Amino acid sequence: MTAPVDPSKRFRSATIREGTIRATTRSFLHALGQDDEDIARPHIGVFHTGGEMSPCNLNLREQAQHAKMGIYVGAARRTNARWCR
């Protein structure tokens, strides 16, 4: 594990990997197939509120997919966990 960093200079996702209390979270990420290097990277979540109820929301899922691809472009290893459909 890395040494603690000044809270104003770290990513918010760093809270899942720092400290003893987050050991269970790290073990869950290891079970998903992530190694220490993957866990040390910033974790980015892309959510959308798209649906088929209104024409205004029909393209939000596609836009979220484009955002996710932008995040993963150039990554040597990809970890794509879709928590909610």
Domain count, the chain: 2
- Residue 84 confidence (pLDDT): 41
Q: Is residue 62 one of the residues assigned to a domain?
A: yes
18 with 56, same domain: the answer is no
**Model confidence pLDDT, tens digit, residues 41-78:** 877 888 888 888 888 888 898 999 988 888 777 554 44
Residues 60, 78: Cα–Cα separation, whole Å = 23
In a domain, 83, yes or no: no
29 sits in which H/E element: helix 23-31
Q: Rounded distance, CA 59 to CA 50, Å?
A: 7
Residue 66: inside a domain = yes
20 in the same domain as 9? yes
- 20: domain range? 1-43
Nearest CA to 34 out of 54, 16, 19 is that of 16
